[in-house]
Amino acid sequence: MRALPDQRFIITTLGITQIFAWGSTFYLPAALAPLITSDTGWPYDLTVGGVSVGLLVAGLASSRVGRLIAENGGRPILTSGALLLAAGLLGIGTAPSLGWYLVAWVVVGFGMSASLYDAAFSTLGRIYGSRSRTAITAVTLFGGFASTVCWPLSAFLAARVGWRGACLTYAAIQIAVALPIHLLALPTLTATETSTPNEGRPPVHLHRDEYATFGLLAAVLTLGASVLSIIGTQLLPLLTARGFGMSAAVAFGAIVGPSQVGARVIELLIGYRYDPVWTIVASATLVAVAALMLMFGFPIVALAIALYGAGNGIGSVARGTVPLALFGADRYPVLMGRLGFPLLIAMALSPYFAGLAFQNGGPDLTLALVTTIALVNVFLVAVLRSMTWRK
């Protein structure tokens, strides 16, 4: 077994690539969709829907990606992800038609499956095994700055070189920054190298008594992703429909990022002292409290949004650390891929159903939907905690 690479170096390099992987995919339409629609005349909903296409493809590919990382390590997968993102962004930036644009998002989706958190977490698990928790948390700190870095960067690029030039610039960043980082910084692992003993059992095997736990964890993470996707796409419309001006709504929305990062810092500093399952308990509880406050019109809106941001922030950490704690390092990359399938599909579809709720029932129905999902998730998390209780 070779010496493991320094965690600080791997965290920093993977963190940098996560910022641009998220910023040039999931957060791209929020900054560029109005400009794309204005320039091309394509329908706004279909333009924004490009990211849903990408997430659907990413979800379908996630299981295969997890298995490949388990077999070969993350270096070749993340390298391929950077190339696919570059190709997809090149396609978006040169798209002559809406059909071309959506097909380019299919390519981006394959890149997302091999570039975003699930692939990064699996790579860390493959390198460091059971010692990955701190590294996973630290990488999410970088990822939390994706919108903070890339929304202003997208606006700057769009003002200077147009939306097409912005997409081409992000494609160049994938080639000039992410690709060499993945090639040079990540270690080369073979299928026979692992940081933890395999004990001779198949790396994807789940014991009979583990299926219920795995299914329950998948449901919890999927519902959490649904709330994230709904709030991420509907927060500003919800606030403006409740009577806030756009500038105030944007100011409230800006609270989410610092709250996410702040909660992740706390998790990084003290999380090692307790079972990772408690992280997901805290995440679901904070999100549910925030949803109730928003639904019933709690007067301090900033507090509700801060609680939501904190809950979502540590929820991303739990997404990586809880499967590792429950099922071990040997099976971690493959199981992360399996968990990514329903999670990414939910992120793709939830905004559509939330949009229908908003269209037919306004902010009250939308917030009622979010609150119901959040409360169901609290119940499921309580069941998960009771099933995994360690005396």
Domain match, 238 and 275 both = yes
Q: Which domain holds residue 159?
A: 7-185
CATH of the domain at 48: 1.20.1250.20
In a domain, residue 197? The reply is no
**pTM of the predicted structure, to 2 decimals:** 0.82
Listed in sequence order, the residues at least 6 apart from 338 whose beta carbon sits closer than 8 Å to its beta carbon are 62, 63, 66, 218
What pLDDT is stored for residue 199 in this prediction?
42
Tell me: do 167 and 28 sit in the same domain: yes
Q: Give a yes or no: residue 200 inside a domain.
A: no
Distance CA 139, CA 128 (A): 14
Query: Looking at the structure, do residues 163 and 20 belong to the same domain, yes or no?
Result: yes
26 and 146 co-located in one domain? yes
Same domain, 295 and 262: yes
Q: Is residue 255 one of the residues assigned to a domain?
A: yes
Same domain for 212 and 180: no
What is the distance between the alpha carbons of residues 338 and 332, in angstroms, rounded to a whole number?
Answer: 10
Same domain, 259 and 364: yes
Q: Which of 137, 153, 185 is the last residue of a domain?
A: 185
pLDDT along the chain (391 residues), means of 10: 76 93 88 88 86 91 89 91 97 96 96 93 86 86 83 88 96 96 82 45 59 89 90 79 80 82 85 82 94 86 91 87 83 84 87 80 88 95 83 39
Supply angle C-alpha 11, 12, 14, rounded to 5: 65
Residue 270 is predicted with a pLDDT of 82
In a domain, 236, yes or no: yes
Domain count, the chain: 2
Q: How far apart are CA 165 and CA 149, in angstroms?
A: 17
Q: Are both 245 and 362 inside the same structural domain?
A: yes
Residue 201 inside a domain? The answer is no
Backbone angles phi, psi at 242, to 5 degrees: -85, 5
Contact in structure between 247 and 293 (CB atoms under 8 Å): no
pLDDT score, position 347 = 86
- Domain identity same for 96 and 145: yes
How high is the pLDDT of residue 391? 39
Q: Are residues 258 and 152 in the same domain?
A: no
Give me the pLDDT at residue 205, please. Answer: 61
What pLDDT is stored for residue 293 in this prediction?
92
Residues 226 and 133 occupy one common structural domain: no
- Specify if 194 maps to a domain: no
Domain assignment present for residue 260? The answer is yes
Domain boundary among 125, 150, 185: 185
So what's the pLDDT on residue 131? 82
Domain identity same for 105 and 228:
no
Residue 62 falls inside a structural domain:
yes
Query: How many angstroms separate the CA atoms of 289 and 304, rounded?
Result: 8
- pLDDT at residue 201 in the model: 42
Q: Which residues contact 125 (CB under 8 A, 6 or more apart)?
A: 132, 136, 324, 329, 332, 333, 336
